[in-house]
Amino acid sequence: MQTQTDSPDPTYTSLVAVGDSFTEGMSDLLPDGTYRGWADLLAARMAARTPGFRYANLAVRGKLIAQIVDEQIEVAAAMGPDVITLVGGLNDTLRPKCDMGRVRDLLTEAVERLAPACKQLVLMRSPGRQGPVLERFRPRMEALFACVDDLAQRHGALVVDLYGARSLADPRSWDVDRLHLTAEGHHRVAEAVWQSLGYEAEDPEWHAPMPVALPPGWMLRRTSDLRFARHHLLPWIGRRLTGRSSGDGRPAKRPDLLPYEGPGGTHL
């Protein structure tokens, strides 16, 4: 993981988060039915250090990299924040048909437009859980991450390596849909980005493996698999086949770059 080391106590006054459901915060569900997620957690920490800190989150679930480029990149660049985080392209790799050359070109376009528009651009190697469903897509994912590494080197961006974190490969870090992180997973991602930006670690072992636990029994695993297939996998396949997205018609999570306070007006 590349880390900023120029200042032991960096001062950033604004953050804009760009991306899809991962950055929107699914499945870190709050009591009011909204999602929090790592970007909100990170913004709250940064706001606690810097009075007047401003935050925008343009992410919308289900977005492909072309949609992120068309709908979010120019908006984020125009805001001119200190920090921009960009995570995108993974939804493309999970589609039955994926033109990785096109994905690389669009990600390159996004980075070339965002890097000059902020003080620090942050990219990520997204986490990948263990299990058979994602195995067929893993070569595409790793090709995407190789592109991320190359772009970061060429444009001075930071790369947060979540893919290599054993804690985030653990199924216990993932919600029942097996596509989105739990609240604990989002906390670990926020910590990873926080450290990459040069802040003092609050959890130095965020990437360490979770404590060993007895695996669930055969019957419990089969019941869980059936529930997952019925409630998450089949609807997901249906959307892919019909060209629909879970984010169709949804606005950006936090479209304006405004002073940030956590839910209820208090810092998280």
Q: Which sequence spans correspond to the domains of the chain? A: 14-209+217-256
- What are the residues facing 123 on neighbouring strands? 86, 159
- Alpha helices in 54-182, H assignment, sequence order: 65-68, 74-79, 90-93, 100-114, 138-155, 166-169
Query: What pLDDT is stored for residue 218 in this prediction?
Result: 56
Query: What pLDDT is stored for residue 213 in this prediction?
Result: 64
Which architecture characterizes domain 14-209+217-256 according to CATH?
Answer: 3-Layer(aba) Sandwich (3.40)
Whole-Å CA distances, 221 to 185, 217, 260: 21, 6, 41
Query: What pLDDT is stored for residue 233 in this prediction?
Result: 53
Query: What pLDDT is stored for residue 206 in this prediction?
Result: 96
Query: What pLDDT is stored for residue 3 in this prediction?
Result: 45
Query: What pLDDT is stored for residue 265 in this prediction?
Result: 38
Confidence (pTM) = 0.84
The tokens describing 172, both together, are 């216990």
Per-residue pLDDT for the chain (268 aa), expressed as one digit of tens each? 444 444 456 889 999 999 999 999 997 989 988 999 999 999 999 999 999 999 999 999 999 999 999 999 999 999 999 999 999 999 999 888 899 999 999 999 999 999 999 999 999 999 977 655 567 888 999 999 999 999 999 999 999 999 999 999 888 888 767 688 999 999 999 999 999 999 999 999 999 987 766 565 655 556 554 554 554 455 555 655 556 555 567 899 999 999 998 653 333 3
Task: For residue 231, give the nearest of 184, 173, 186, 179 by alpha carbon.
Answer: 179
| Neighbouring C-alpha atoms within 13 Å toward the C-beta of 195 | 17
Q: What kind and span of H or E run contains 218?
A: helix 218-228
Query: What pLDDT is stored for residue 211 in this prediction?
Result: 76
